[in-house]
A and B are shown apart, each in its own frame.
Chain A
Amino acid sequence: MTDRTDLRIDTTVATSAPRAARPGAFFERHFGHLLPLPAALCIALLIIFPLAFNLYMSLQTWFVSSATPPKFVGLRNFVEIFGKDARFWNSIWITVEFTLLTVLLELVVGMAIAVYFHRDFRGRGVVRTVMLLPMVSTPVAVALIWVIMFNPSLGILNYLLSLVGIKPLLWLGHPRTALPSLIFMDIWKWTPFMVLILHAGLQSLPLTPFEAARIDGASRWQLFRYVTLPLLRPSVAVALIFRTMDSLKTFDTIYVMTEGGPNNASEVLNVYVFLTGFKYFHIGYASALAVILIIFVFAVNLLLIRVRERSWSY
């Protein structure tokens, strides 16, 4: 009995003595929580708060004027977007079209170039470096140069076409050719990224499967189709995920080159959100559109990551 009490006293002394001696004990105990605290605070301030505020704003209608003060409208913005907003559905369709075409074409062209570079020839280093230039150049500056090149009267592209006897195109100047022109420019700009990843993937492949296949008498096409491609799947998946995320949120080049025009023919969702928010100042409606954009991008990426996990890794 007495022993027990002694013991109890002993323990309290043992735990409270260092606490009194070291003020850092609180620190000691919560070390695991305290260290990531600055990072967590940053994320809360810079990501979670804006997201939550955006969600809150999406339930309001506000035009940044005191003539019509902010008003709570519940889900009415979303009802209007999904029910009545033809421009929204148009921008969704254009976003999908733009993303699918750019990513797939960049993959095909990028693969071809990566395979071509995957052998020895003189000046390979130089060519590879030059190849990367479109990717590392500033998007807005490059877009402005492309605007001049696309100009139907003053631009070089129509001049080049005239040399081979093709009639001049309107490029960005017609609803039917504006989006393909932007896709063309995007392919020029981002194919090097595909090349970079695929080329790195090619260089890391083991040599033995190739040797085995060659001994079995596989043709070069068969080598590529049945050995290179399957082995390259993880690299392809990574490249696809990165490019899809990027392509879905393309804004700068499109905004600079067409501002979504002519007549919304190249207006991706991102541009529509921006114009609604920062040109028309419909802050509530733009926030609602932004919420949809976030969900859209998130869903597509989740899908891609699932696909990658299920069937693209070995």
Chain B
Amino acid sequence: MFNQYFGNFLLNKGYISPGQLTDALEYQKSVHLKLGVIAINAGYMTPAQVEEIHNMQKRVDKRFGELAIEKGYINEAQLNEMLATQKQGHLMLGQALIDRKHLTIEQLQEALESYKKESGMSSRQYNVVRKDDTEQIEQVFQNFGETMLGKMYSDYVTLLIKNMIRFIDDAPVVEINQMKSDITAQWYASQEIGGKIDLHTAIACDREQFLILASKFAREEIKEPDELAQASVGEFLNLHNGIFLVNMSNNGVELEMQPQQVKENYTYKNPGKAYIITCHMTWGDFDVIIV
């Protein structure tokens, strides 16, 4: 999930476009993470040193780690750590962006440093914390001033990502923003949750994404936004919310939900404190709204 966060960061900061991101996400499935990217991320080597080793490799039949140790840029322990990181594959997105020429290695280094700085973490802290996705998402909501409900919102978003992978067969890159104005959507599937906490949840998308989402969840091709398409998107939201309610119930919070509703050409008025979770998929974007 690190990729979701880092991808989101790169988008927000304008390092890459949504198209470049989805291209890299598609490509990264086949990418091999290179030690140079890991060395830069860990702060062991500069981009220039990595380039130097890459150029040496063109002339000498030696591995990257071997040459980097010979040049005195890293030691054995650092190489072992880097090899372990390579297996974890946390930096696959960065590697994919370089391979697809959407970023240079220098731009990646700058972006990684900036990302760590904004997260308020040193490289070492970052390496530890990045494995805990929920905490990272919670931090996003904390930064929006959600001290009371930040944990619940982050649980909701984490579960959403898991459910996207589970039921839609696709991992989204999520972008979390506060709603700044009213939202008008071609298709708007919503469901109210009530109890100790009242929540408005919704999926807002245009026709094309609505049909793709409906088809993927129903596991059959749906070509028109008919009753079946509406039932499919509504049921995905209902299923996700149901699992969320079960999780909340297991933590001692009983909530109830209302039947889901699907509307065409609907405008949702900004209630003041709402969040838009934009899901960047390989097939387009759609928004999840939580209030």
Do A and B interact? no
